[in-house]
Amino acid sequence: MHGFFFIRPHRFGKSLTLNILQHYYDLRTRAQFDALFGNLYIGQHPTLSRNTYLVLYLNFSGIADCLHRYASQRDKQKGESFVHGFTLAMTAQNRFYRPVSEQDTQAGYADIFLCPMLEIYSDMKHSYIVELKYAKYKDPETRVEELRREAIAQANRYAETETVKRAVGTTQLHKIVVVYKGMDMPVCEEVYEQTV
C-alpha cells in the first residue's frame, strides 16, 4: 500500500534540496531513480522509503508569479476578489483535493478549504485551510502584519469547528496564511500554534 509524503518548504520557496527530496521519495519518479541518483551515495545506499510516496507539491509563490505575469491593470483594480479567484483556480489544478471556496465553518467562512478526496484516495494524510488577506500597494507594512494576525486568528478559529473536523477526517489539517499586498505576496506561512 502506498502512502503520501508531504514536503512543504518554509514559506513555500524553491530549492535544490526540495527537488532532490521530491524525486527521491515520489512514486512517479521511480523509473528515473538510477539516472538521477545511481552514481551518488543515496543511489548506492537507498532507504526503504525510496520512491514509495505520492508527493504533493504546493507552490504558492508560483501563484504570485502568475498574478504578476498575467493580470491586467483592470484585474488588479478588483483586488481581493481577483486574487481569491485566481488562487482558487490555481489550487483546483490538484487532482487529490477538492477546493471549496468560502467554506462555512460555523465560525465564519474559510477562504479556501482544500478538502482531501478521501472517497477516491483513502490513504491521504493531509488537508488544508488557506486564509487569504489583501492589502493595497499603498498600505503600510503595519497593515500587512495586522492582516497576517487576523488571518492566523481566523484559521485557528475555523480549525476548531465541528464542520472542519468532520471534513478533514483522520487527516492532519494544515493552516496556511497568505497576505497579498497588491499582486505581491509578502506573507505565506503555515500556522503551527494557536497564538497570534
Lowest mean per-residue pLDDT among 25-29, 92-96, 160-164, 172-176: 92-96
Judge contact between 160 and 115, C-beta under 8 A: no
pLDDT tens-digit series, residues 16-67: 777 778 888 887 788 888 998 889 898 899 998 898 876 766 666 666 666 6
Between 21 and 84, residue with greater pLDDT: 21
Structural domains for the chain: 3-53 (no CATH), 77-191 (3.40.1350)
Residue with cell 465541528: 162
- Residue recorded with cell 515520489: 26
C-alpha atoms less than 13 angstroms from C-alpha of 178 in its C-beta half-sphere? 27
Residue pair 147/124 in contact (Cβ under 8 Å)? The answer is no
**Residue 105 has what pLDDT?**
58
pLDDT > 70: percent of the chain: 71
* pLDDT computed for residue 1 by the predictor: 44
Report the mean per-residue pLDDT for the chain.
78
- The reported pTM is 0.62
Grid coordinates given for 105: 465553518
Cell triple for 96: 487529490
